[in-house]
Homo-oligomer: A and B are copies of this chain.
Amino acid sequence: MQFHLDGFYPGDPRFSDPQDRVVAPPLKRPLPQQVDVLIVGCGPAGLNLAAQLSQFGNISVAIVDQKDDRLLVGQADGIACRTIEMFQAYGFADQIIQEAYQVNEAAFWKPDADKPNQITRSGKVQDVADDLSEMPHLIINQARVHDEFLKVMLQSPIKLEPHYQRKLLGLEVSDSGEEYPVTVKLERMVNFSQYSQEIETVKAKYVVGCDGARSAVRAAIGQELVGDPLNQAWGVMDVLLNTDFPDIRLKSLIHSNNEGNMLIIPREGGYMVRIYVELDKLKENERVARDQMTADVLIAAANRILAPYTIDVKQVAWWSVYEIGQRITTAFDDSSAERAARVFLAGDACHTHSPKAGQGLNTSVMDTWNLGWKLAHVLTGRAAPAILATYSAERREYGQALIDFDRKFSAMFSAKPKSAENPDGVDPAEFQRYFQLFGEYTAGVSIQYRPSIMVGNGEHQTLASGLTVGKRFHSAPVVRQGDAKPVQLGHCHTANGAYRVYAFAGSAEPMSASCGVKALCEFLANDANSPLLKYTPAGADADSVIDVRAIFQQHHQAVETGTLHPVLAPHKGKLGLRDYEKVFCVDQRPESSGGGKDIYAMRGIDKQQGCIVIVRPDQYVAEVLPLDDYAGLARFFDGVLI
């Protein structure tokens, strides 16, 4: 964590305004009449976007919601590794990790061959494969994630708070070239459902609809969710219980012979579990209309599926019935042949699917993680509006892939187990293999954006075979040279909207005449084509648009601070202090000291030649280049910055 750059102030350094570090301000501001971005909806997608945009300080943002106040109990609970990586960029991963349930293993249960009306364990598998991510797979009430986003917003330079009790009435986009072309009408609500007839009008440059499956923003731009609306019905409940089922604190996927299937997800705190029960398999006489469903019906079904084990439910914290549908809009924005996008959709507003693979919240936050920095770059004048078209292109393809995955996963999950009577059923071993195969997918790390102005074509991919162009930058351990601290390299990539240029050194002596990193620094510091010189605004910190970092193969004690090129220890802030956290080394400490992990070997980096890895502000690898490909480096940034 870096702070004190512009002078020493006491208090919690997470507050951007030093005054607030002493006593945080009461806010509750009135709704502004004009903003750069109006976000509709305080779900994960909306809050993540608000948190991201709030980091810049010179972007005005409002976020509204129909609800009376912040969410206290949410339905989403699964947090994929990739999402925790993003939390790390905001600085609250540790807080969530401490509080959450950590999914380390999954247990699979099937009908007992000898007693087919009883279940037996078919196996246990590791939930997250080795080195898939440095972050765990977690389960936590989504409201606690919201709380962390709200804290980031409040501590930001613009001290952003949501405006609750606002219902979207409609929006219009003007084509007359106004600076704030979107006009939004909102009605103030009283107690969530009561209308006040008090109408507010907000003018915005951009509007983002994060307002869920019944999105009013989506309706206003004429988009529709298309696909299978409903197919399978499931019951879900969060319960406190006692049981003799042995794997109650493991994620357990249970296929019974005739009573249907069930999923157990242990929850945070050590006692609560979420149970998903398949309802289509309820016995004929148990079938009840959805409005007559009770938690007791779900509990009875769970007990039949679990036989010979039983659950004794002490408290039902929440329960619901849902029907799985997989639907998606044809585009995630309102762009047309005539006009670039001014309104965007994110999260459930543009794609819905089943909750069982735990992808809902994760996909929603990744939507706005993709959109946020792009909006910020356009609004701060760093990039042309054309980059905004990549949002719908990149995310809609992924949304469609998710729906295809979900359809297959749900079908397999709901299928009967294979047996003599059910030769067409799903072999539990096959289901278990499928589950493992798709671990990378459900962890959120398999997304690979296609080549575009901001994703290269992978021509030089062999120089860093484990840092795939288009995929997220896969972090690995290194030692920070300046203070000998073992760190994850990727953790320097905070949510500040800057590109990273990682210069992985080749075999030459660091900062010697033949050192490629030194030559690159010379180019960046002095050449007329240097993107660092061209795109860093006058007066801004050298690393605020493009953040250059170097990694050497030598022991960290073998790289001397005094020899470093000034690009790697830039003067920053009001006082012009040097930043000594830009240089890293392979962790050459002995294994007994926790070292011995070589990032070059782990990520397939060419030890002879080294390479440049350009990473987008959302942590996706934009390009891999030879260490001396200055033209390629300049060309990339000429395509995305102005």
- Residues of A with Cβ closer than 8 Å to B? 1-5, 7-8, 10-13, 22, 72-73, 91, 94-95, 97-99, 101-102, 104-105, 124, 126, 130-131, 141, 143-144, 147, 238, 240-242, 244, 246-250, 266-272, 314-315, 317-318, 482-486, 557, 560-562, 571, 575-581, 592-594
Q: Which residues from chain B contact A581 at a C-beta distance below 8 Å?
A: 270
A526 to chain B, nearest CB (A): 22
Q: Which residues from chain B contact A241 at a C-beta distance below 8 Å?
A: 577
**C-alpha spacing A268/B9, complex, angstroms:** 12
Would you call B126 and A593 a contact (CB within 8 A)?
yes
**Considering only CB atoms, which chain B residue lies closest to A487 in the complex?**
B102
Q: Which residues from chain B contact A143 at a C-beta distance below 8 Å?
A: 10-11
Question: Assuming A72-B10, A144-B12, is B4 touching A580 (CB within 8 A)?
Answer: no
**C-alpha spacing A325/B566, complex, angstroms:** 44
Partner of A8, one of B7, B99, B317: B317
**Considering only CB atoms, which chain B residue lies closest to A316 in the complex?**
B8
Q: Which residues from chain B contact A486 at a C-beta distance below 8 Å?
A: 104
A390 to chain B, nearest CB (A): 33
**C-alpha spacing A552/B411, complex, angstroms:** 40
Would you call B268 and A124 a contact (CB within 8 A)?
no
Would you call A12 and B147 a contact (CB within 8 A)?
yes
**C-alpha spacing A13/B5, complex, angstroms:** 34
Q: Which residues from chain B contact A269 at a C-beta distance below 8 Å?
A: 1-5, 13
Would you call B73 and A130 a contact (CB within 8 A)?
no
Q: Which residues from chain B contact A105 at a C-beta distance below 8 Å?
A: 483-484, 557
Question: Assuming A95-B94, A98-B94, A130-B592, is B577 touching A314 (CB within 8 A)?
Answer: yes
Would you call A266 and B577 a contact (CB within 8 A)?
no
**C-alpha spacing A476/B606, complex, angstroms:** 37
A111 to chain B, nearest CB (A): 19
Would you call A124 and B271 a contact (CB within 8 A)?
no
The 3 closest A-B pairs by CB, nearest first: A8-B317, A10-B72, A3-B269
A559 to chain B, nearest CB (A): 10
Q: Considering residues A94, A270, A560, A594, which has the most beta carbons from chain B within 10 angstroms of its beta carbon?
A: A270
Partner of A575, one of B98, B314, B579: B314
**Considering only CB atoms, which chain B residue lies closest to A573 in the complex?**
B271
Besides A4-B272, A105-B557, A244-B562, 11 more A-B contacts (Cβ < 8 Å) are A5-B271, A8-B318, A12-B144, A22-B72, A101-B483, A126-B593, A240-B575, A246-B562, A247-B561, A270-B580, A314-B576
Would you call A270 and B126 a contact (CB within 8 A)?
no
Oligomer copy total: 2
Would you call A104 and B483 a contact (CB within 8 A)?
yes
Q: Which residues from chain B contact A7 at a C-beta distance below 8 Å?
A: 240, 315, 317
**C-alpha spacing A318/B484, complex, angstroms:** 26
Partner of A315, one of B8, B244, B562: B8
**Considering only CB atoms, which chain B residue lies closest to A144 in the complex?**
B12
Q: Which residues from chain B contact A592 at a C-beta distance below 8 Å?
A: 130-131
Question: Assuming A11-B72, A94-B95, is B4 touching A271 (CB within 8 A)?
Answer: yes
Would you call A268 and B102 a contact (CB within 8 A)?
no
Would you call A272 and B8 a contact (CB within 8 A)?
yes
Q: Which residues from chain B contact A104 at a C-beta distance below 8 Å?
A: 483-486
Q: Which residues from chain B contact A578 at a C-beta distance below 8 Å?
A: 242
Q: Considering residues A1, A12, A244, which has the most beta carbons from chain B within 10 angstroms of its beta carbon?
A: A1
Question: Assuming A104-B483, A575-B240, is B13 touching A99 (CB within 8 A)?
Answer: yes
Would you call A268 and B1 a contact (CB within 8 A)?
yes
Q: Which residues from chain B contact A248 at a C-beta distance below 8 Å?
A: 561, 580
**C-alpha spacing A572/B12, complex, angstroms:** 37
Q: Which residues from chain B contact A22 at a C-beta distance below 8 Å?
A: 72
Q: Which residues from chain B contact A101 at a C-beta distance below 8 Å?
A: 483
Q: Which residues from chain B contact A482 at a C-beta distance below 8 Å?
A: 249
A175 to chain B, nearest CB (A): 45
Q: Which residues from chain B contact A484 at a C-beta distance below 8 Å?
A: 104-105, 124, 250
Q: Considering residues A10, A97, A486, which has the most beta carbons from chain B within 10 angstroms of its beta carbon?
A: A10
**C-alpha spacing A575/B269, complex, angstroms:** 15
Would you call B483 and A266 a contact (CB within 8 A)?
yes
**C-alpha spacing A3/B246, complex, angstroms:** 21
Q: Which residues from chain B contact A271 at a C-beta distance below 8 Å?
A: 2-5, 577, 579
A495 to chain B, nearest CB (A): 15
Question: Assuming A91-B98, A484-B105, is B244 touching A8 (CB within 8 A)?
Answer: no
**C-alpha spacing A141/B3, complex, angstroms:** 13
A571 to chain B, nearest CB (A): 8
**C-alpha spacing A105/B585, complex, angstroms:** 15
**C-alpha spacing A557/B123, complex, angstroms:** 10
Could you list 19 A-B pairs, sorted by A, with CB under 8 Å? A1-B270, A3-B268, A3-B270, A5-B270, A7-B317, A8-B272, A8-B315, A8-B317, A10-B72, A94-B94, A94-B97, A105-B483, A105-B557, A124-B484, A242-B576, A248-B561, A266-B483, A314-B575, A314-B576
